[in-house]
């Protein structure tokens, strides 16, 4: 399973890239609304930092025509743009056109809450589908179970759409979606930080340093 960072914050993105674990970025209108400055410049800078790795940017239009037009403008900003399209009939029409007409643009179908939605998105030509694990758990359904269902269906029917487990809320989600077969987990920076830590690691470092200090404090290694 690969990791994408779910963020539009340049500092977080630069820090996460320096860890060497990030294979892409997902953004959404809420994440972008937390940042300042020109939207186009922000998107261009994120894409530059990611080099050739995929950066998902979401359209705001609600008609397929509007989505396709918007996608054209976004795709012109950088080569590594992936167009994030909300699930629905208009979204499917846009995905079909963007993935089959002219200079094809990869699409990430977002706001997926059922296996049928994922299946339709894949058949329309989506490069990625994003089931929202945390938001499903919020309404007392099983977000990880949905990821498992979708990955099983895609494997069984030999569909090459990648499953991005989205709306990840904590490190346990990450482990669970990895076991469920997600190709990618898109994680907020705070979750990435939590994943790197363990109280026993901190305690271990503390003890090693204290023992060294007791007997060998003047030796330089």
Active site residues: 84
Q: Counting contacts by CB under 6 A, is residue 64 touching ligand E4P?
A: no
Q: Counting contacts by CB under 6 A, is residue 12 touching ligand E4P?
A: no
Binding residue for ligand E4P (CB under 6 A) from 93, 135, 170, 183?
135
CB 43 within 8 A of CB 74: yes
Nearer to ligand E4P, 9 or 186 (CB): 186
Least Cβ distance, residue 161 to ligand E4P (angstroms): 15
Query: Which string of x and - marks every residue 155-194 that binds ligand E4P (by CB under 6 A)?
Result: -----------xx------------------x--------
Alpha-carbon distance 7 to 13, whole Å?
7
Alpha-carbon distance 210 to 178, whole Å?
37
Q: Counting contacts by CB under 6 A, is residue 26 touching ligand E4P?
A: yes
Alpha-carbon distance 181 to 169, whole Å?
18
| Choices 112-120, 131-139, 140-148, 209-217; region in contact with ligand E4P by CB under 6 A | 131-139
Alpha-carbon distance 179 to 196, whole Å?
18
**Which residues, in sequence order, are bridge partners of residue 165?**
185
Give the three-state DSSP class for 130: strand
Length of the chain (residues): 221
Interaction site with ligand E4P (CB under 6 A): 6, 26, 28, 110, 130, 132, 134-135, 166-167, 186
């Amino acid at each position: 399973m690969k990791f994408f960072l779910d963020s539009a914050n340049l500092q977080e993105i630069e820090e996460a890239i320096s860890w060497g674990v990030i294979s892409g970025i997902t953004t959404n209108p809420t994440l972008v609304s937390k940042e300042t400055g020109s939207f186009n410049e922000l998107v261009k800078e994120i894409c530059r930092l990611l080099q050739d790795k995929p950066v998902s940017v979401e359209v705001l239009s609600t008609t397929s025509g509007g989505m396709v037009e918007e996608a054209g403008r976004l795709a012109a900003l950088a080569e590594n743009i992936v167009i994030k399209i909300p699930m629905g009939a208009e979204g499917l029409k846009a995905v079909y056109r963007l993935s089959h007409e002219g200079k094809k643009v990869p699409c990430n179908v977002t706001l997926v809450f059922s296996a049928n939605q994922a299946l339709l998105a894949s058949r329309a030509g989506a490069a990625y589908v994003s089931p929202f694990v945390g938001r499903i758990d919020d309404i007392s359904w099983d977000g990880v179970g949905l990821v498992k269902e979708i990955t099983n269906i895609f494997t069984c029917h030999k569909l090459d759409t990648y499953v991005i487990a989205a709306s990840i809320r904590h490190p346990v989600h990450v482990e669970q979606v990895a076991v469920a077969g997600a190709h990618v987990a898109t994680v907020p920076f705070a979750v990435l930080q939590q994943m790197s830590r363990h109280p026993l690691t901190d305690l271990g470092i503390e003890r090693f340093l204290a023992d060294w200090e007791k007997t060998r404090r003047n030796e330089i290694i």
